[in-house]
Structure 1
C-alpha cells in the first residue's frame, strides 16, 4: 500500500468527522513472503459470521452521511507494507462517480494474532514510521505526512494495534471512528 496515495479532505467532509467522533466510542517484521499465523480470532468475523466491511467498521451514521454527499466505498485487501492480512478490509470512501479523485477518506481493519503484531510494528518502525503508545494501543504514524493530509495534531496515515486487531486510517484522529473490533 502506498502511503503517498492522495487523501485530501473537503471542508464539508472535514466537518463530518468531528460530529461522528462524538458518536463513536473511543474505544520481528514479516518478510514479504511470510504468512502470518492464524488464531481463532484471525478469521475476521464476529460470532454472527459477519466479516468486516466498509459499512460495518465505521458507524452507520457516518456511512449515511457519506451517502448523503454522494460518496460510496471501494473495498480492498488490508495491507501492512507488502503483506496482506487475511480477513481484513481497507476502505476508500469518496465520490467515484466523478472519475479520478483525491478527495477521499480511508478506514481499514484486520484481525491480527498477538504473535504477529510486534513483527508488523517493527517492520513499520524500520520503514521510518513513528511509534507511540496509549490506552493499551500501539500507534505507528507515517513520519512525514503532507500538511493537507494531516489531522489537527499533525498526524497522517496511522495504524493502531490493539488486542487481536489492527486498524488503519488516513489520519490518527480518523481511527476514532473505526468501531469494529471483530
Structure 2
C-alpha cells in the first residue's frame, strides 16, 4: 500500500468518524428536571428531595451469578449453561439457581457447576444434616460453613484436595465443583 493510498484510507476513516459523532442520537436525550415548585424555607433553601426508588436488582442468571471473566472464558471455549434443579438432601432451593456449564455439542461429563440460593435457617439445618449423613465433611471458616464431598469419591479436586463444596452463609448457600471454585460466584442476592 502506498503512502498516498494509506493517507486516503485514514482520511476517509476520519470523515466517517466525524460524521458519526455529529449525527443525531438514536434515542432522545433526557430532559433536565423541571424547576422545583416545592416551598422553600424562609432563607430560600429548598428542602431535600426524596430520591426516586431505583429499579430492582437484576434477577439471578447463569451469567450474572459468576464473574464476568469466568463467563467470558467459558463462552469463549464454546460452553453454554443449563439450569438444573438445586436440591440439597430433601431441601429444594427455589430461591436461587444451579447452572451446569459445558460444551453441549459433544457427549461428555466434563463441565463446571455453580449454584447460589437464598435459604432459611431451618432449611440450612436440614440440608447440612443431610450432607453430614451422606459422608460430606464439615469445616467452619470466616466466610461461613463449608461442606465438601469426600475426595475419594470426587470427580475432581482443587489444589487443596477439595471436591464439590457447599458454603453456607447467613441466609444463603453457594455450590461449586471445588472449594476454590466458590470464589467465582459473585452473586449476593
Both proteins in one fold, TM over 0.5: yes
Counterpart selection for 2:119 from 108, 112, 115: 112
Count residues in correspondence: 135
Counterpart selection for 1:151 from 158, 163, 170: 158
The Cα RMSD (Å) is: 1.7
SS in 2 for 1:96: coil
Structure 1 segments of 4+ aligned residues over 6 angstroms from their partners: none
Moved more, 171-180 or 118-127: 118-127
- Tell me how far apart the structure 2 counterparts of residues 174 and 112 of structure 1 sit (CA, whole Å): 20
Matches within 5 A, 1:28-177: 48=56, 50-98=58-106, 100-146=107-153, 149-177=156-184
- Tell me how far apart the structure 2 counterparts of residues 175 and 142 of structure 1 sit (CA, whole Å): 14
1:21 corresponding residue in structure 2: none
Distance apart, 1:148 and its partner CA: 5.6
- 1:70-129 CA-to-partner distances (Å, cap 9, x unmatched) read 11111112110243111221111111012x212201100111112322221122111110
Distance apart, 1:152 and its partner CA: 0.7
- Bigger radius of gyration among the two: 2
- Tell me how far apart the structure 2 counterparts of residues 115 and 136 of structure 1 sit (CA, whole Å): 19
SS in 2 for 1:167: strand
Runs (5+) with no aligned partner, structure 1: 1-46
Q: Is the 8 A contact 1:77 1:88 kept in 2?
A: no
Distance apart, 1:50 and its partner CA: 3.0
Structure holding more strand per residue? 1
Q: Which has the higher contact order (CA 8 A, sep 6+)?
A: 1
